[in-house]
Amino acid sequence: MTLVPHELDVRPILHDGGEPFSVILQAVGQLGPEQALRLLSTFEPVPLYAVLAKKGFDHAAREIGGGDWEVMFTPSFAVAGTGQNELAQPAPDSSSPHGWPEPSRHQDNRDLAPPEPMVRALAALEELRPGETMSVLLRREPVFLFPELGKRGHEWRGGFEADGKTYRLLVRKAIGKEEAA
pLDDT tens string 57-95? 888 999 998 889 999 998 874 333 333 333 233 333 344
Residue 78 has what DSSP assignment? Answer: E
pLDDT digits (tens, 9 = 90+) for 132-173: 999 999 988 888 898 889 888 999 988 888 777 888 999 999
Nearest to 168 by CA among 141, 146, 144: 141
pLDDT digits (tens, 9 = 90+) for 18-32: 889 999 999 988 888
Helices (H), 7-144: 11-15, 21-29, 46-54, 116-127
pLDDT digits (tens, 9 = 90+) for 92-122: 334 445 578 899 999 999 999 888 999 999 9
Question: Which of left, alpha, beta for 153 (phi over 0: left; psi -120 to 50: alpha)?
Answer: left
Q: Is the dihedral of CA 133, 134, 139, 142 positive or negative?
A: negative
pTM, 2 dp:
0.48
Preceding omega of 147 cis (within 30 degrees of 0): no
Domains of the chain: 6-85 (3.30.110.40), 92-180 (3.30.110.40)
- The predicted pLDDT at position 78 comes to 35
Helices (H), the chain: 11-15, 21-29, 46-54, 116-127, 145-151, 177-180
